Amino acid sequence: MTNKEVTITEVCPRDGFQSVSEWIPTEEKVRIINQLIDCGYKQIEVTSFVHPRAIPQLKDADEVLKRIKRSKDVKLRALVPNTRGLERAIAAGVDKVKLMLSASDSHSISNANCKTEEAFERFVPLVELAEKSGMKVGGSISVAFGCPYEGEIPVERLVMICEKYRSLGITEVSLADTTGMANPVRIKNNVRELRRRFPDFTFSLHLHNTRGMAFANAVAGWEEGIVHFDSSAGGLGGCPYAPGASGNIASEDLIHGFEEMGIHTGVSLNRVIEAAKDIQQSLPQYVDSFLLKAGKCSDLSASPKAQQKVQI
Amino acid sequence: MTNKEVTITEVCPRDGFQSVSEWIPTEEKVRIINQLIDCGYKQIEVTSFVHPRAIPQLKDADEVLKRIKRSKDVKLRALVPNTRGLERAIAAGVDKVKLMLSASDSHSISNANCKTEEAFERFVPLVELAEKSGMKVGGSISVAFGCPYEGEIPVERLVMICEKYRSLGITEVSLADTTGMANPVRIKNNVRELRRRFPDFTFSLHLHNTRGMAFANAVAGWEEGIVHFDSSAGGLGGCPYAPGASGNIASEDLIHGFEEMGIHTGVSLNRVIEAAKDIQQSLPQYVDSFLLKAGKCSDLSASPKAQQKVQI
């Protein structure tokens, strides 16, 4: 309940970039990732090794990984949907791969063309190969707090999925509120139950601000002992079901909020703001960030002259 | 800690309208207020009886009050800065008036041209007149959780202000995060201390979403026993210090969030959404609302066909 340190994984280069329809040139991706590497994150989700037809934006993943700078302080994580993706991730020398499946069958069918349990079967050879290669594997659960097709996800469904992950030897699991359907009560109830049932797991929260509750959900998770969070610089990464709606919580907003609460992230907020501003220069229509509009709480204004203005 | 009911005061007609630079015709104001009256709010802040030069947008306050419909279920509150304003409020037949002052001297000088303690002295004749007329009086504290000129406000300063309010017989106090500088830890600490020191007071929270924390702050306040909240339909009402930044938390976002948490507001979310959409028609550039972009959590999408799309 009283953790005063949290860890933020920066996901802009994966979750953010994949939502951008215009091609982002490889050198631009490399430049942004290098800037993010300098921010002090312990982990960055750098790309997704998916088939180029599935996400054309990330087709240069191998090239990007060759060209970015490496730092021993920053773990690089990549999403892999299958064994071919894992092979590419191994060749690219990432530190960790993440598997992804959906809490609901309907979202799973939409994303992976198969039901949730079938998705696990496809993971078996992948996990075997990862073990042989010494590659760390984490898992994630999309739409964990609500599915846009089915609504609320029963916690027992999350428990079943975590059991499946455990059977594959995976105990690091990201709970993703993919379309921003969580609320603080649901976060607390589900996180408490999952942490009780899986005390050996490391859970993280991947929150979207679709309905304005992302930061409240982060705080709710933190109050239940979660210390790992994903976020995206500039708030890049939208909601696929409501064009124009907010998506990923912006890293600068999450870091600023935590730091204001006295919870340390180890990330340089000023550098993240600079990186987000840089992203805003290239991709203004994709940026969605409170901090870039309002500035930090500590950015005080000059003391004013008396004015005839009423504000409350 | 476990209140399952909260009360929302709708402040769009006051805090929202006053931030709109184009003239909103009187009949338009009346139409919007009448729509809001039908939403099920127990209280609406309908206007501010200020000098027309101070806020030209609200110069038709008396006329608006004459023309809106009245409902015994909806209390009408108005802001009054001085005795002249109170006289107008009495003549207009509102149910309650609200006084406003700033937690910091610099914000007080900016808004009211005098220091905080001097503002109290000006209230004395006003409160005497209100007593004589049987008019209920509430107070508010602007920039209660942070001043854009001075930064954090020591809780002792809030205690001093509440003592002054008590000396005037005012025990209903709105704590306003005027420029969105609060965070959940500060809300909890200050609310806990104020409720401990002033157990006879009714505190409410007036939250702005300037840095994305408004809903988290509402939840923090609720967890500390606050059951009264202000919000503005369509999120009307900006941040005067950062043009374009978010301001008041949108009523539809606050109500939706609470209802999703199982906390009842007694307000019809659907009607508020309709009212907000209507406001969006007239004043699109002022609306700032998650719900209007993303819809409710319960607005499920049709189950999709399998797609080659990756989301997490």
What tens digit of pLDDT does each residue of B86-105 get? 999 999 999 999 999 999 99
Residues of B in contact with A176 (CB under 8 A): 312
Residues of B in contact with A178 (CB under 8 A): 311-312
Summarised one tens digit per residue, pLDDT across range A95-138 is 999 999 999 999 999 999 999 999 999 999 999 999 999 999 99
C-beta of residue A185 within 8 angstroms of C-beta of residue B262: yes
Average pLDDT over residues B291-311: 77
Number of A–B residue contacts, CB under 8 Å: 214
User: Considering the domain boundaries, does residue B164 fall inside one?
Assistant: yes
Listed in sequence order, the DSSP H helices in B93-212 are 105-112, 116-133, 155-167, 184-197
Binned at pLDDT 50, 70 and 90, residue B307 comes out as very low
Q: How many domains does chain B fold into? A: 1
Judged by CB atoms closer than 8 Å, whether chains meet at A111 and B146 is answered as no
Locate B23 and state its tokens.
């003239």
* Stronger pLDDT, A310 or A198, i.e. the higher one: A198
Task: Return the residue matching tokens 């003239």.
Answer: B23
Q: Which residue of B has its CA nearest to A186?
A: B261
Say yes or no to pLDDT of B129 above 80: yes
Average pLDDT over residues A149-157: 97
What does the pLDDT read at residue A308? Answer: 44
Judged by CB atoms closer than 8 Å, whether chains meet at B53 and A308 is answered as yes
Q: Which residue of A has its CA nearest to B181?
A: A297
Summarised one tens digit per residue, pLDDT across range A194-245 is 999 999 999 999 999 999 999 999 999 999 999 999 999 999 998 777 888 9
Q: What mean pLDDT, rounded, does chain A reach?
A: 95
- What's the CA gap between A78 and B310, in Å, rounded? 14
Residues of B in contact with A209 (CB under 8 A): 212, 290
What does the pLDDT read at residue B242? Answer: 82
User: Which A residues 198-237 touch B at CB under 8 Å?
Assistant: 206, 209-216, 218-220
Binned at pLDDT 50, 70 and 90, residue B311 comes out as low
Contacts 24+ apart (CB under 8 A), B260-263: B260/A183, B260/A185, B260/A186, B260/A213, B260/B297, B261/A183, B261/A184, B261/A185, B261/A186, B261/B219, B262/A185, B262/B4, B263/B3, B263/B4, B263/B5, B263/B6, B263/B222
Locate A52 and state its tokens.
């180029």
Judged by CB atoms closer than 8 Å, whether chains meet at A212 and B257 is answered as yes
Q: Is A47 on the interface with B (CB under 8 A)?
A: no
Average pLDDT over residues B67-84: 97
Judged by CB atoms closer than 8 Å, whether chains meet at B100 and A312 is answered as yes
User: Which A residues 91-130 touch B at CB under 8 Å?
Assistant: 100, 106, 109-111, 113
Cα–Cα distances (Å) from A273 to A148, A149, A292, A296, in that order, read: 32, 35, 7, 10
Instruction: Tell me which residue in B216, B256, B260 faces A215 most closely, judged by beta carbons.
Output: B216
- The string of DSSP letters for A35-97 reads HHHTTT-SEEEEEE---TTT-GGGTTHHHHHHHS---TTSEEEEE-SSHHHHHHHHHHT-SEE
- What's the CA gap between B130 and A210, in Å, rounded? 45
Catalytic residue flag (residue B239) = yes
CATH number of the domain encompassing residue B186: 3.20.20.70
Residues of A in contact with B146 (CB under 8 A): 297
Report angle CA B285, B289, B294 to the nearest 5 degrees: 120
User: Considering the domain boundaries, does residue A271 fall inside one?
Assistant: yes
What does the pLDDT read at residue A244? Answer: 85
Q: Is A302 exposed, middle or buried (0-12, 13-18, 19+ CB in 10 A)?
A: exposed
The distance of B205 to chain A (nearest Cα, Å) reads 11
Q: What is the ipTM of this complex?
A: 0.96
User: Considering the domain boundaries, does residue B1 fall inside one?
Assistant: no
Judged by CB atoms closer than 8 Å, whether chains meet at A185 and B262 is answered as yes
Question: What domain range is A68 assigned to?
Answer: 7-294
Chain-centre distance for alpha carbon B250: 10
- The string of DSSP letters for B246-277 reads --BPBHHHHHHHHHHTT-B-SS-HHHHHHHHH
- What's the CA gap between B285 and B20, in Å, rounded? 9
Instruction: Tell me which residue in B146, B246, B310 faces A111 most closely, judged by beta carbons.
Output: B310
- What's the CA gap between A40 and A270, in Å, rounded? 11
C-beta of residue A36 within 8 angstroms of C-beta of residue A253: no
Binned at pLDDT 50, 70 and 90, residue A303 comes out as confident
Say yes or no to pLDDT of A1 above 70: no
User: Considering the domain boundaries, does residue B307 fall inside one?
Assistant: no
Min mean pLDDT across A44-58, B180-194, B236-250 is at B236-250
Q: Phi/psi of residue B235, each to 5°?
A: 70, 20
Locate B28 and state its tokens.
């338009």
Say yes or no to pLDDT of B308 above 60: no
C-beta of residue A252 within 8 angstroms of C-beta of residue A212: no
- Could you count the other beta carbons within 10 Å of the beta carbon of residue A307? 14
- What's the CA gap between B293 and B298, in Å, rounded? 14
C-beta of residue A45 within 8 angstroms of C-beta of residue A72: no
What does the pLDDT read at residue B218? Answer: 98
User: Considering the domain boundaries, does residue A1 fall inside one?
Assistant: no
Say yes or no to pLDDT of B150 above 50: yes
Structure letter (DSSP) for residue A22: S
Binned at pLDDT 50, 70 and 90, residue B306 comes out as very low
- What's the CA gap between B32 and B276, in Å, rounded? 9
Instruction: Tell me which residue in A181, A245, A303 faces B149 most closely, judged by beta carbons.
Output: A303
User: Considering the domain boundaries, does residue B181 fall inside one?
Assistant: yes
Binned at pLDDT 50, 70 and 90, residue B131 comes out as very high
Report angle CA A199, A205, A206 to the nearest 5 degrees: 150
Judged by CB atoms closer than 8 Å, whether chains meet at A206 and B312 is answered as yes
Instruction: Tell me which residue in B15, B109, B211 faces A256 most closely, judged by beta carbons.
Output: B211
Q: Is B291 on the interface with A (CB under 8 A)?
A: yes
C-beta of residue B305 within 8 angstroms of C-beta of residue B298: no
Average pLDDT over residues B184-213: 98
Residues of B in contact with A211 (CB under 8 A): 253, 256-257, 290-291, 294, 296-297
User: Considering the domain boundaries, does residue B301 fall inside one?
Assistant: no
- What's the CA gap between B211 and A176, in Å, rounded? 22
- Could you count the other beta carbons within 10 Å of the beta carbon of residue A3? 12
The distance of B190 to chain A (nearest Cα, Å) reads 13
User: Considering the domain boundaries, does residue B86 fall inside one?
Assistant: yes
Q: Is B246 on the interface with A (CB under 8 A)?
A: yes
Average pLDDT over residues B253-267: 98
In percent, how much of chain B has pLDDT > 70? 97
Residues of B in contact with A312 (CB under 8 A): 15, 79, 100, 140, 142, 174, 176, 178, 206
Where does chain B show beta strands of DSSP type E? 7-10, 43-48, 75-79, 96-102, 136-142, 172-177, 202-207, 228-231
What does the pLDDT read at residue B18? Answer: 96
Catalytic residues of A: 239
- What's the CA gap between A175 and B312, in Å, rounded? 9
